[in-house]
Amino acid sequence: MKRLLYIPFCIVLMLSCKKDTMDALNTASFVTIQGKWYLAAIEKNAIDGKKSVWEPIDPTKADTLIFRSDGVILETDGKPACCAPGTLIINGTVTAVKPEIALPANPLCALVNCGNCPSWEIQMSDRELIIMPCNNPRLKYVR
């Protein structure tokens, strides 16, 4: 008789368990990088094997990235950036980019041939963001 009671109890227990999600963690990571970032320098590798150097960018030619609170990367006109990754690795924490609001179409993206780069690695300090896109030089952004 007790065994008959255990079966429904186990079924109810299994159905009541909720899968843990990383949404709260993802949101916290994106809040730290949220806002406008201006390109300040590009890393140039030394040909003679010495230490690589950061080459400053002219502020009038500097690129701007805007990170939304859900991790979506926008250009200055509010349209989504072309070739944006689906995953960001922020200071070693992997976070998936999931748009909370529908994104407008960016007609310029049809003209761009994007390589396969599913994630960007980002090192962030107080007011500095270093982005390492796939097989491209590192980019230093500042607020």
pLDDT averaged over 10-residue windows placed end to end, the chain, 143 residues: 70 64 52 88 80 88 88 89 90 89 87 86 90 88 91
Please give the pLDDT value at position 49.
Answer: 66
Distance CA 95, CA 71 (A): 8
**Residue 45 counted as domain residue:** yes
Residues spanned by the domain of 95: 35-142
Q: Where are the alpha helices (DSSP H) in the chain?
A: 2-16, 23-33
Please give the pLDDT value at position 24.
Answer: 45
**Residue 84 counted as domain residue:** yes
**Residue 27 counted as domain residue:** no
**Residue 85 counted as domain residue:** yes
Distance of CA 41 to the CA centre of its chain: 19
pLDDT digits (tens, 9 = 90+) for 101-136: 888 888 988 888 887 888 999 999 888 999 998 878
Please give the pLDDT value at position 20.
Answer: 46
**Residue 2 counted as domain residue:** no
Annotate 124-142 with b (16+ C-beta within 10 A) or e (fewer).
beeeebbbbbeeeebbbbe
Q: How many structural domains are present in the chain?
A: 1
Q: What is the sign, positive or negative, of the torsion defined by CA atoms of 76, 78, 79, 81?
A: positive
> Two tokens at 108?
């310029």
Distance of CA 68 to the CA centre of its chain: 10
Helix (H), strand (E), coil (C) string for 85-113:
CCEEEECCEEEECCCCCCCCCCHHHHHCC
pTM of this structure: 0.73
**Residue 13 counted as domain residue:** no
